[in-house]
Amino acid sequence: MDGLHYEGIIIRPPSEANSIILQVTVGCSHNKCIFCGTYKGVRFRIKPAEIIEQDINYAAENFPFLRRVFLCDGDALIIPQDRLRWILEKIREKLPWIQRVGLYGNAKSILRKTPEELEELRDLGLGIIYLGVESGDAEVLKFARKGVGPEKMVEAGRRVKEAGIKLSVTVLLGIGGVNRSLEHAKATGKILSLIDPDYVGALTLMILPNTPLGDLASKGKFQMPSPIGLLRELREMLVNTNMTRGLFMSNHASNYLPLKIRMPSGKKEAVELIDNAIKGRIQLKPEWLRAL
């Protein structure tokens, strides 16, 4: 065996850069988000057990220096409990030095797991779930085709936290467009306060041509806020976010103003920094440096 079995585009959270990336599913079980072009034309499926086991064995032989595993593709948590239990048990058996396993989960796949099932996964090494919340605004969530409203997002996020699994959520600056920019920002701050995740990653929407959103933008039916408008959106979101602890980050490659805020102690200083950027006292990242 020459390496791990990868199919298609492999994506992972920035925080999993130094993890063993095991592809246990292909595609995304939802695959309807208006802004995402990653898995277009890809039918979701769970990879065969023998391929997964081969990859775990390969990782055991070749990556003894890595301490984390990330299970991809877009929604590995949708895997039935028996198979997911088997995967985590195999990782524990073959890679006993692994300190944390992470994966993507959407609200639907989280809520399909009972609290007891999530606790079982935690006990088997699942240490973090990444949830794409995108917005707390019901209208924006419907527009973005997330498949659930704010209440289900909160329920899913709280279920992860209550199971003792770390929760990292992403939100999208700009997804409300010009028309709902501040409504989206305020509602998102409120939903983050209710979920109270361990980590928040605020990314700036990048409009891709191979997506329904790209089609709307090309026809003039969707308009992104300006860079200053996005900063105002970030400010409104942050002002309305009350987390008991954790990190709020806007340091993704897509963002104009990189921030890493320890909540709640760093919130006031971060808002002042955003205000200075809005006033032109801080230089923003140039367009050519921004990326997905």
Is residue 1, in this structure, part of any structural domain at all? no
- How many CB atoms are closer than 10 A to CB 204? 24
Closest residue by Cα to residue 35 from 222, 257, 285, 289:
222
Nearest alpha-carbon partner for 236 in 109, 105, 136: 136
β pairing state of 45-46 and 25-26: antiparallel
Residue 132 resides in a domain: yes
H or E element, residue 204? strand 199-204
pLDDT tens-digit readout, 228-245: 999 999 999 999 999 999
Question: Is residue 1 very low, low, confident or very high in pLDDT (cuts 50, 70, 90)?
Answer: low
What does the alpha-carbon distance between residue 165 and residue 88 come to, in Å, rounded to a whole number?
15
The token pair that represents 236 in the structure block = 């409104």
Q: Which residue range(s) make up the domain with 77?
A: 14-289
Residue 3 counted as domain residue: no
First CA to last CA across the chain, in angstroms? 32
Q: Which of 132, 68, 144 lies closest to 105, judged by CA? A: 132
Peptide bond before residue 96 is cis, with ω within 30 degrees of 0: no
Q: Is residue 2 part of a domain?
A: no
8 Å CB contact between 117 and 81: yes
**Whole-number mean pLDDT of the chain?**
95
Structural domain includes residue 79: yes
Q: What is the pLDDT of residue 283?
A: 84
Tokens of 201: 């990653």
Q: If pLDDT is split at 50, 70 and 90, which confidence band does 94 have?
A: very high
Pairing status of strand 20-23 against strand 25-26: unpaired
Mean pLDDT of 139-166: 98
- Tokens 């209550």 appear where? 162
Look at residue 274 and tell me if it is in a domain: yes
Higher pLDDT, 282 or 162: 162
Average pLDDT, integer, range 89-107? 98
Residue 204 lies in a domain: yes
pLDDT tens digit string along 115-148? 999 999 999 999 999 999 999 999 999 999 999 9
Q: How many domains does the chain have?
A: 1
Residue 282 has pLDDT above 80, yes or no: yes
Q: What is the DSSP string of 76-114?
A: GGGS-HHHHHHHHHHHHHH-TT--EEEEE--HHHHHHS-
Decide the pairing of beta strands 247-249 and 199-204. Answer: parallel
**What does the alpha-carbon distance between residue 125 and residue 100 come to, in Å, rounded to a whole number?**
6
2 pLDDT higher than 80: no
pLDDT score, position 81: 98
Reply yes or no on whether the pLDDT at 109 is more than 90. yes
CATH number where 174 lies: 3.20.20.70
- Cβ burial, residue 155 (10 Å; 0-12/13-18/19+): middle
How many Å apart are CA 224 and CA 205, to the nearest integer? 8
Q: Residues 153, 136: contact at Cβ < 8 Å?
A: yes
Q: What is the pLDDT of residue 290?
A: 74
**Structure tokens that stand for 13 in this block:** 């959270």
